[in-house]
Structure 1
Amino acid sequence: MAARRDFYDALGVPRSASRDEIQRAYRKLARQYHPDMNKDPAAEERFKEISEAYDVLSDPETRRRYDQFGPDFRQVPPDVDPQAWAARGRAGAGARAGAGARRGGGRGAGPDVWFETGPGDNVDLDDLLGGIFGGRGRRSWGPVAGADQEAELPLTVDEAYRGGRRRISLDGRDIDVTIPAGVADGQRIRLAGQGGQGTDGAAPGDLYLVVRLAPHPRYRVDGRDITVDLPLAPWEAALGASVAIDTPGGEAKVKVPAGTSSGRRLRLRGRGLPHPRGKPGDLYAEARIIVPATPTEEERRLFEQLAAVSTFDPRRQR
């Protein structure tokens, strides 16, 4: 039989780990390797290993005995001095190895292993493990909290801006979700107790919905800032104007300074996505100068007149 892995090493914690650190390490590994969540054939054995390690190290008394006597702690009588036990183990190592060799080929693929506990008293390790794992090599691992789950929640920019209620279907369940106003792309919405089910009455995990904003025909979102195109007539851009635009929060007025060129960004403070606990984003109106595709005769005449008198050369502007 292969040597049993050190329990601290099995949980990935140092020997000085606190009880909380041991519990956090166990919960993380249990969710990763629980047979209900991980179908890898090796996951069940790993789950058994970390569960046994947690059973021992989470209890102060059994942890103390494990620290004193190592993997043999279950065979050691309560009143044995740790130093005397260690000395005895060194002295009896050869005898135990010989006893194990004499019983080779008994009931398994390799020799049975024996531990000497007193004059003439031998304990079969298979019998010890039978008490832990049961007749078929399995045991009840006690309550294990449900695993947290994660899923994507697609939203439009308008839904993210206003928030509201949404019913989603996940794993055959219908779940009502409250969407906070101003939720941003990549933000997670936590639904307590809606994740994986726990075992033996343990609490279920949580469900985390990751917000994904769908592309919008008008709005471009960067964090909580929103950019929208602002179409302008040539004379509005040249002379300045007050222009109405649509925003996720409703209509807003943009003051266009005289001499505005395409690409200029005009900021409307606080008109981006709201922030439930902080500063809202801004809305940027990006100027786009649009000329008539088919100007009337009067428009053409005025443009020609402007071209004749103007000294403006856009290709020399910096």
Structure 2
Amino acid sequence: MEFKDYYSILGVEPTAGDAEIKTAYRRLARKYHPDVSKESGAEDQFKAVNEAYEALRDPQKRAAYDQLRAQGYRPGEEFRPPPDFGQGGYGGGQGFDFEEVFGSGGAGGGGFSDFFEGLFGQRARQGAGPQPRGPQMPRDTRAKLAVPLSAVYQGDSVRVTVNGKQLDVRVPKGVKPGQVIRLAGQGRGGGNLLLEIEYAAHPQFEVDGRNIIFVLPVTPWQAALGATLSVPTLGGSVDLKIPADSDAGRKLRLRGRGLPGTPAGDQIVELEITAPRASDDSQRDAYRALAKAFGETG
């Protein structure tokens, strides 16, 4: 497999903080989202961005990856995970709960590369020598399961890989982070598998309790004059009326459009005013006329 530089993929330095990594992810995920981008290779770029963020947003995964990267591997270079990866040789000596369960949902709803699976998935065990094959005492196994927001909203199934087997796990509608799904007999030696829910990162939405946060780019004239714009939600697109004289940062509420619950959450739409780039003389003249109309003399 080929080594991947997740920092380069996101366009950030290895010293970047969590907030900077999250901002870079959101910007690139919007740019390459298959529903939006017309660029060639956008889908592959979108998957790469999601995978990089999934690796760097988790402190344990990032710490282990940083130790490997510090050895001087370059993007595209042939790479095999060290035999002791995830067994105490990397990542602070703690090992990885997530090597037991690998979900196919991930940040972008698709599978990850061989490199990611080799580090953090079931394949991390390959090359570690023969494993004991004798009978094991039943033991409960705990792991985290990153669930796409769409599955939380609809109550869908998520496919996971457990010890080489694929299982479809039913996600309760409106499940909260920290709740545990119990799979009887799927743990070590026939014990239970306890999946602790966390929400997978989404390229458009953030979660605040049961509310969904969405940043909506609007043009200066849409903010000034008002407009009706289509806004994506977990339940499909809806039309939202933008009041005239809206400022950047104004928050509008779509009631009941958040995550299910009693009561259901809302979707909070925050306005972000963006000025389109002038691409010809007529558009530049229009900007000059606008500046003149508002008293700009420079």
TM-score by length of 2: 0.47
Which structure would you say has the larger Rg? 1
- Relative to total residues, which structure has the larger helix share, 1 or 2? 1
